[in-house]
């Protein structure tokens, strides 16, 4: 087994240190593992990388398997290090890293148990802090709707195209075992360190969970024959772009800025925008004239006279005031309503 330790200046590895510090503590240990395949029954652990944030420093340690006989030593070393901490931070660890580690530890009669809230081993217990699970509520706001660390880090401006990915990492490691040449091991280790520092950076994404509390302030409203376009700011910082889309409406948030486009070219209602109702489950639409009415009122009507609505078609058309101050106030309130839906 080879042990590789790194110490970086936090400014070198952490893009948004003030936000990351808000969600981290001295008791955090960050974990990522590399394996020779996806099945813990047929494959084994090739490396474990741990990381910690310390004041202005970022520290990582990688336990790298130099032979097929190193796995037990790697597991023991990683567990020994983790004992000193209170919270284990991963990205997708519940579904992969911890599950794989638990299965492989069992091969050597080592207990390593975990559930959605905790990790237990050697009479020690850590809180299980899986960022991919915690960030699920914002998945619908992500342009790719992906909670993969490999898609989120590039969106944060943290991609490193020089590093191998996926199967290439496994191939390089197997080539290293065959040849013993360092040039095949080094990119595998660098990839592991990138993942752990990436998980550290991903703590900043927890700020995105505040989107439904954001207060927009519009700086500019422009109109043409097709749409009303707005630009402004928010009081909450978003490290990645978040988008909100409904038919005829598009909103995007990035860092402290927002942009919005509201289509306004509807036949017979030109200049109006769609006002979506937040409690759309409480309405039905009359077939005769398309009017929305509360379900309670519909109980007294024949069932064939109305139809169910979805969120996408539960709206009214409303004009935007010509007065700039009134338009600004109305649109700010409406944007707050939309992101809370």
pLDDT of 4: 98
The residue to which tokens 């284990």 are assigned: 88
Q: What is the mean pLDDT of residues 281-305?
A: 94
Distance in angstroms (rounded) separating the CA atoms of residues 341 and 334: 11
- Is the pLDDT reported for residue 161 higher than 90? no
Tell me the per-residue pLDDT of 69-113, one tens digit each, with 9 for 90 and over.
Answer: 999 999 999 999 999 999 999 999 999 999 999 999 999 999 999
H/E segment holding residue 98: helix 97-107
pLDDT at residue 23 is higher than 80:
yes
Alpha helices (H) along 14-60: 17-23
3-state DSSP assignment of residue 249: strand
Tokens of 40: 């813990």
The share of the chain scoring above pLDDT 90, in percent, equals 91
**pLDDT at site 191:** 96
- Cα-flanking dihedrals φ and ψ of residue 276, to 5°? -80, 140
Mean pLDDT of 166-177: 94
Query: Domain 2-208, what fold?
Result: Nucleotidyltransferase; domain 5 (3.30.420)
Q: Give the pLDDT confidence of 135-146 residue by residue, as tens digits.
A: 999 999 997 788
Strands (E), 143-226: 216-223
Domain boundaries, the chain: 2-208, 210-339
- How far apart are alpha carbons 55 and 9 in whole angstroms? 9
- What is the number of alpha carbons within 13 Å of residue 298 lying toward its C-beta? 18
Name the percent of the chain lying above pLDDT 70.
Answer: 100
Predicted confidence (pLDDT) at residue 270 exceeds the cutoff of 90: no
Model pLDDT, residue 271: 86
DSSP for 238-271, written as a single string: EEEEEEEEETTEEEEEEEEEEEEEEE---TT-TT
- 111-151 pLDDT, tens per residue? 999 999 999 998 999 999 999 999 999 999 997 788 999 99
Residues in the chain, how many?
Answer: 341
Tell me 172's DSSP state.
H
40-62 pLDDT per residue, tens: 999 999 999 999 998 889 999 99
Give DSSP secondary structure letters for 264-330.
---TT-TTEEEEE-TTGGGEEEETTT--EEEHHHHTTS-GGGEEE--GGG-EEEEEPPSSHHHHHHH
Grouping H, G, I as helix, E, B as strand and the rest as coil, residue 309 is coil
């990436």: which residue's tokens? 198
Per-residue pLDDT band for 269 (boundaries 50, 70, 90) equals confident
Contacts of residue 163, defined as CB under 8 A and 6 or more positions apart, other chains included, come to: 187, 190, 191, 194
State the average pLDDT for the chain: 95
Which pLDDT band holds residue 15 (cuts at 50, 70, 90)?
very high
pLDDT of residue 33: 98
What CA–CA distance (Å, rounded) separates 336 from 339?
A: 6
Q: Can you give the pLDDT at residue 227?
A: 95
């Amino acid at each position: 087994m080879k042990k590789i330790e790194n110490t970086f200046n936090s400014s070198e590895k952490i893009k948004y240190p003030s936000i990351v510090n808000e969600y981290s503590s001295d008791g955090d240990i960050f974990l990522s593992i590399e394996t020779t395949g996806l099945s813990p029954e047929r494959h084994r652990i090739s490396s474990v990388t741990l990381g910690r944030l310390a004041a202005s420093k970022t520290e990582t340690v990688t336990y790298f398997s130099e032979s097929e006989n190193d796995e037990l030593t790697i597991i023991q070393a990683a567990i020994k290090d983790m004992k000193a901490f209170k919270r284990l931070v991963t990205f997708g660890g519940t579904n992969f890293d911890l599950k794989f580690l638990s299965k492989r530890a069992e091969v050597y009669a080592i207990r390593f148990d975990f559930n959605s809230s905790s990790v237990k081993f050697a009479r020690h217990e850590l809180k299980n802090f899986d960022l991919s699970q915690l960030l699920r509520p914002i998945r619908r706001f992500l342009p790719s709707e992906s909670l993969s660390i490999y898609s989120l880090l590039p969106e944060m401006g943290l991609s490193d195209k020089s590093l191998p990915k996926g199967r290439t990492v496994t191939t390089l490691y197997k080539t290293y075992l065959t040849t013993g040449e360092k040039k095949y091991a080094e990119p595998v280790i660098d990839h592991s360190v990138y993942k752990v520092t990436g998980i550290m950076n991903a703590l900043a994404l927890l700020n995105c969970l505040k989107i439904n509390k954001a207060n927009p302030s519009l700086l500019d409203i422009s109109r043409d024959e097709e749409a009303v376009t707005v630009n402004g700011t928010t009081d909450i910082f978003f490290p990645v772009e978040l988008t909100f889309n409904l038919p005829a409406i598009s909103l995007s948030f990035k860092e402290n800025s927002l942009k919005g486009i509201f289509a306004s070219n509807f036949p017979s209602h030109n200049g109006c925008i769609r006002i979506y109702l937040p409690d759309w489950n409480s309405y039905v639409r009359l077939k005769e004239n398309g009017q929305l009415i509360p379900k309670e009122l519909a109980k007294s009507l024949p069932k064939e006279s109305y139809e169910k609505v979805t969120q996408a078609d539960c709206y009214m058309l409303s004009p935007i005031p010509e007065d700039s101050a009134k338009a600004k106030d109305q649109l700010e309130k409406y944007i707050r309503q939309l992101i809370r839906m």
